[in-house]
Amino acid sequence: MGSVLITILPEILANVIYPAWILFTVLLLMGQNGAKRVLALLIGGTLTRLLQILLFNSIFGASPTADESAYGASPIASTLFLFIGIVFLIAGVKAYLKQPDSDDDAPSKLTGMIGSLSPLRIFLLGAGWVLISPKLWAFTLSAISTISYANLGQVETILLYLFYLIGSVSFSIIVVIMSVIQPDKTKAAIGRFQIWLESNMRPIKIVFSAIFGVIFVYLGVSGLIG
């Protein structure tokens, strides 16, 4: 179980520090009833990931078991790693050339009307964002494939999926908890973070895409040839 947990950490970490998701979360939190609105986004995204797990776990679990690769990932997961890596590298080049990234554009177009978005619409946005984003799809599918391929017991498998689900939204969970415990200090800190994030979004996207692009390409190629 420990090796599988380590193998899915890149997908979890990529979800946690996904720049567009972080920025949207911060903007929601700075508005009225920020904690409730972030919670709506969190629940929407998590439910979509849960449905993906329920749908694809049985499919990937039925695929032929292969010898353990260098990273304990299935051929399906390795292929997805390679796909994610290529997508990230392309996104990094787009950010460097100042070209729009369709994966991030839809939510960013709503930033001007965040104050008018109801919790229900934010919930639907969170669910839809995870549903239509190729990057977020690939993160979850590769994690599902890796966990299913490991052929662990039912309890261990469920625990790993819970770890993935909770880990993927841990940033949102933390800011919601902090905003409830210390609302004024949290809002002030998040406000400073928002300014920094918006001022540096392009270099952040470039660095984020380059790092995870290289990581996932390496994991994919190592798994396929290992």
What value does the mean pLDDT take over residues 192-210? 91
pLDDT for the residue numbered 68: 42
Contact 91, 205 (CB under 8 A): yes
> 72: pLDDT confidence band, cut at 50, 70 and 90?
low
What confidence category does residue 106 fall into, taking pLDDT thresholds of 50, 70 and 90? low
Half-sphere exposure for 63 (CA within 13 Å, toward CB)? 18
What are all long-range contacts of 197-202, with beta carbons under 8 Å and residues at least 24 apart?
Answer: 197/19, 197/22, 197/23, 197/26, 198/23, 201/19, 201/23, 202/95, 202/98
Residue 28 near residue 179, CB atoms below 8 Å: no
User: How many CB atoms are closer than 10 A to CB 122?
Assistant: 23
Task: Give, in order, the Cα–Cα distances in Å from 58 to each of 52, 54, 129, 151.
Answer: 11, 7, 24, 12
As to burial, measured by CB atoms within 10 angstroms (0-12 exposed, 13-18 middle, 19+ buried), residue 86 is middle
Question: Can you give the pLDDT at residue 52?
Answer: 93
Helices (H), 62-200: 75-96, 102-108, 119-132, 134-149, 154-168, 170-181, 183-199
Closest among 224, 223, 214 to 72, alpha carbons compared:
223
3-state SS of the chain: helix, strand, coil percent to 5? 85, 0, 15
Q: Report d(CA 79, CA 221) in Å as an integer.
A: 8
Q: Hey, where are the domains in the chain? A: 2-29+39-62+71-225
The answer to whether residue 45 scores a pLDDT higher than 80 is yes
Q: What is the pLDDT of residue 146?
A: 85
What's the pLDDT at 203?
94
What's this model's pTM, rounded to 2 decimal places?
0.84
Q: Alpha carbon of 2 to those of 71, 156, 162: distances in Å?
A: 12, 10, 14
Q: What is d(CA 226, CA 156) in angstroms, rounded to the nearest whole number? A: 26
CA dist 6 and 173 (Å) reads 21
DSSP, res 164: H
Rounded mean pLDDT, 167-189: 92
Average pLDDT over residues 190-213: 91
CB 48 within 8 A of CB 130: yes
